[in-house]
Amino acid sequence: MHEDKRLVSILSRYPDDHLLKRARVTYGKIKLSMENPTIGSGAPPRMMNAIIAGFNIVANNLALLVLPIVIDLYLWLGPQVSIQKVLTPMIDETVRLLQQINSPELAGQMSVISDIWNEILANFNLIGAIRTLPIGVPSLMSAVRSEATPFGPATLFQVPNLTTGFAIWLVVIAIGFLAGCLYFSLLARATSETRTGFELMGFLSKTGMALALTLGLLIGLLILLVPGLMLVSVIALISPGMGDFALLFAGFLLIWMLLPLIFTPHAIFSLKFGLVASAMTSVRLVRHFLPGTGMFLIITLIIARGMDVLWQVPPASSWMTLVGILGHAFIYTAVFAASFVYFRGGIRWMVENSTAARPQEIKT
């Protein structure tokens, strides 16, 4: 007879990490079974095992596909909102002023910029902002505005003014963010070794931490990007070639800074951590498993984005787009599930291989 082990908390001390001395890692109920010898084996997370497990989890839990499918169906067949009518006069006026104060050579370039912006606005759907980052529901149809559907021309509403457009944008962002938190919460439960019921207060707490993470990343990016872009612009004025190199270097530097935080949402929705502890856990996990973590992220990105090329082949006016929506939802959900499996495997490995780890029963 085998009994379920109660919730376990492990206080782990890592002498090589001065950012966080102790990490409280909660597994949940772990099945101690002879039929599951991998638990407690001390094996580090394996890329292919995590990817295969992610696809199997989604195949056995097709309800995980509901949110991405519903959102894409609305973006495809539902009414669309455009801000082209409001912003086009403002862009034209700005370009006209820039043409007056610049040389004739630069004035010609301003016309090209105006054409680019008009093309962007013509294909922009304000409802597409429902795809929020870093926590959100993956969407195939959020990037572009479809002009036609299998039922005929798409319904399009022009925003009358900026205030209305901003209000709609805030509502769409809020809906997308809440849907993203629910999506990540469902993935965390589906990839857990213990099935627990939905707890509203716990979900709201995790949503608050996710909001703080999103705002923190946004503020951090603004602090880094504003002076960074100004520096790149100065370098480009001196030497266009050096400007391109500086922009490329800045991009790699930004990725290098953000990569260690990639698993912070996973820690928030999978473990009973605070925001800082979740971020530090992500940093520690990425550091422990480089370059394996980098390879895992690259392979999953290639799988997801590579299949997008196939899903985007049918025009929006064809019913074959529905196949693309279903395929996109399955692939991306499987990739996200694989990332949760990889994260849980990494956490387990770090805890089991910590020389200072000691189990302590949680009082309920």
Q: How far apart are CA 318 and CA 328, in angstroms?
A: 16
Q: Give 99 or 146, the one with higher predicted confidence.
A: 146
Contacts of 285 (CB under 8 A, 6+ apart): 263, 293, 343, 346, 347, 350
CB 176 within 8 A of CB 129: yes
Q: Tell me the mean pLDDT in the region 114-125.
A: 82
Q: Tell me the mean pLDDT in the region 160-181.
A: 94
Q: Tell me the mean pLDDT in the region 313-342.
A: 94
CB 243 within 8 A of CB 217: no
Domain boundaries, the chain: 8-73+202-361
- pLDDT over 60 at 351, yes or no: yes
**290 torsion bin: left (phi>0), alpha (psi -120 to 50), beta (else):** beta
Model confidence at 88, pLDDT cuts 50, 70, 90, reads confident
Residue 317, burial from CB neighbour count under 10 angstroms (0-12, 13-18, 19+): middle
Q: Taking the complete model, does pTM exceed 0.75, yes or no?
A: yes
- pLDDT over 70 at 29, yes or no: no
240 membership: H or E segment, kind and range: helix 240-258
CB 210 within 8 A of CB 217: no
Q: Tell me 273's DSSP state.
A: -
- pLDDT over 50 at 8, yes or no: no
- pLDDT over 80 at 55, yes or no: yes
Rg over alpha carbons for the chain, rounded to the nearest Å, is 24
Model confidence at 15, pLDDT cuts 50, 70, 90, reads very low
Calculate helix-pair angle for 162-190, 66-77, nearest 10 degrees.
Answer: 150
pLDDT for 43 = 61
> Which residue carries 């610049």 as its tokens?
102
Q: Give exposure, 277-290, as e/b (b: 16+ Cβ within 10 Å).
A: bbbbbbbbbbebbe
Residues found in the chain: 364
Average the pLDDT over each of 97-101, 116-120, 188-192, 231-235 and give the range with the smallest value.
97-101
Q: Does the N-terminal peptide bond of residue 134 adopt cis geometry, omega within 30 degrees of 0?
A: yes
pLDDT for 92 = 80
Q: What tens digit of pLDDT does each residue of 199-232 get?
A: 888 889 999 999 999 999 999 888 888 888 788 7
